[in-house]
Amino acid sequence: MSPNTHLRRERQLRGWSQAYLAHQINVPSHYISRWERGEVSPSPYYQQQLCELFGATAEDLGFLSPVSASLEKSLDPHSMHLPQADPLGRDAWRRPSTLLVMAVSRSWVRRCLVPLVVLLLLGLGMSASSHVLPQLSVPSVGSFAFTSSGEGQANTSEGMADGVVLHVHLGREPGMDDDAWLLPDQNNPEGVIISLGTLSPQGNLVYRDPLHTNLLLKHSALLITEQPRSPIPQAPSLDRTDWRAHIVIDQQDAPGTPYSLLDHLRHLFAIDPEVEAAGLHGGLVAWLAHNTAQLALLANDAQKQSHNARAFHQDLVRMLEYLDGTRTVAQDLPGLALPVNPQATIGLLTLFPEQPDPGYLQHIQNHLRGMITSPGVSNHQRELANQVSRVLDGITAQLQAIRKEILQLLKYQITLQLTMRTEHILHASQNVQRVTLEMMQLLAFEIPSEDDNVA
């Protein structure tokens, strides 16, 4: 029996641990683990319980249809192909995500209760993700993308952009190999060069950093060289006639701004100065996904605590902290002693135009707008940024409505209407997780031949 990736994915999208899910249907934790590993299948009774809890069909949870191939199989470079589908269709949020989602680290689950579901395989169109790389619109020798495993320590940039996947179509001389290298920024020529390995005869390569270090933090260029198979090269050739392909993420500031395309991508996926100033670490996209997952977990708990006025009130206050940010939530709750929550220092929403630290949704929108006018941005990135921006507009409206209702619940101590509101919050959280996966495709690039780079 194959692993039930459907059940695991739906659980992770809601930010639920296996122990939490087991508690909801009154079974031991190891039952969930065995079901997800595919060792046994839930009985019809528990299948019904799970479907009701998730609000999903048996097929959605992997009980009726064959489960997709394992992650290792999907990573087989020989199955890669270039995609044709539109990444953000009209019904994107009405259907289960077709992307493979990597499991997050257990340490992140233990420390933060809900996983950062950001994931992966955006690269070169695997069989389970048919719309990962941009269609080639200019002469190109292939494509490459940064990928994310979701593994790593909490409150770091680890696990995001910690891998590379590429596919190229280059001829090869007998006795020679094509080797791939990740290069440091142009203004740091003596920085560390990372050997990604030797491409397969079909021109494919998948690399994952063993420490899950965010590769985008200090690297911004890819080089493919053709060098003798023996001895194994320890560095890229200095002879440019050995260079087969080379791409650099543009580092030229857009007119009138202090940011380049590389800056925008780093703020989104690796490190952002305002996040750092708040004592947090990592990119904007990761914190958007994490905090909306926390919001959904609190909403679910508040629904269960509706009979306990104190616990119910505490959950609502904590939800409002995630929406407003701890720096601004006091204006909504004057005179109330608020719980300390460093992870909610920056809110999901922006409450007023001149707010010194905009919420994650607005901040991401700012970088998307900056990206589309940056030198070096591709048509694929520009189109995807516009599509994602429209989706984020909808999510912002959802969360604004939820915030308004939470304030009403706090003001009038209403608990009877929370069931419907919880569904709205879970839906918004799932939309964020899915658009997070789509945003990862902004880290996909076409590779021009080295002949095109040399004037």
What confidence tens digit (pLDDT) does each residue in 2-48 have? 788 889 888 887 778 888 888 888 788 788 988 888 878 887 678 87
Enter the pTM of the model: 0.70
**Burial profile 100-116: b = 16 or more Cβ within 10 angstroms, e = fewer:** bbbbbbeebbeebebbb
Which of 67, 92, 119 is the last residue before a domain boundary? 67
Q: Kindly provide the residue ranges of all beta strands, DSSP E only, lying in 356-420, ordered along the sequence.
A: none
Q: Distance between CA 146 and CA 262 in Å, rounded?
A: 13
Task: Return the pLDDT at 179.
Answer: 94
Q: Is 288 a domain residue? A: yes
Q: Is residue 169 part of a domain?
A: no
User: Would you say residue 36 lies in a domain?
Assistant: yes
Tens digits of residue pLDDT in 174-225: 888 999 999 999 889 899 999 999 999 889 999 999 999 999 999 999 999 9
Closest to 300 (Cα-Cα) out of 8, 109, 100, 17 = 17
Whether 422 is in a domain gets the answer yes
Residue 60 lies in a domain: yes
In a domain, 408, yes or no: yes
Tokens 């590379």, residue located: 164
Q: Give me the CATH number covering residue 8.
A: 1.10.260.40
Residues 442 and 284: beta-carbon distance below 8 Å = no
Cα 453 to Cα 440: distance, rounded to the nearest angstrom: 26
Of 43, 67, 91, which residue sits at a domain end?
67
What single-letter amino acid sits at 261?
L
Strand runs (DSSP E) across 190-252, as ranges? 194-198, 204-208, 219-228, 243-248
State the total domains in the chain.
Answer: 2
Q: Is there a domain that residue 436 lies in?
A: yes
DSSP state of 200: P
Q: What is the largest CA-CA distance in the chain?
A: 78
Which one of 36, 67, 98 terminates a domain?
67
List average pLDDT for each run of 10 residues in the chain, which is 455 residues long. 83 80 82 85 78 80 50 30 32 27 30 30 28 49 90 89 92 86 92 95 93 96 91 91 93 93 98 95 95 90 81 89 90 78 94 89 97 95 95 94 88 58 78 88 87 47
- Please choose, from the candidates 250, 253, 284, 290, the residue with its C-alpha nearest in 3D space to the C-alpha of residue 270: 284
Note whether residue 455 is domain-resident: no
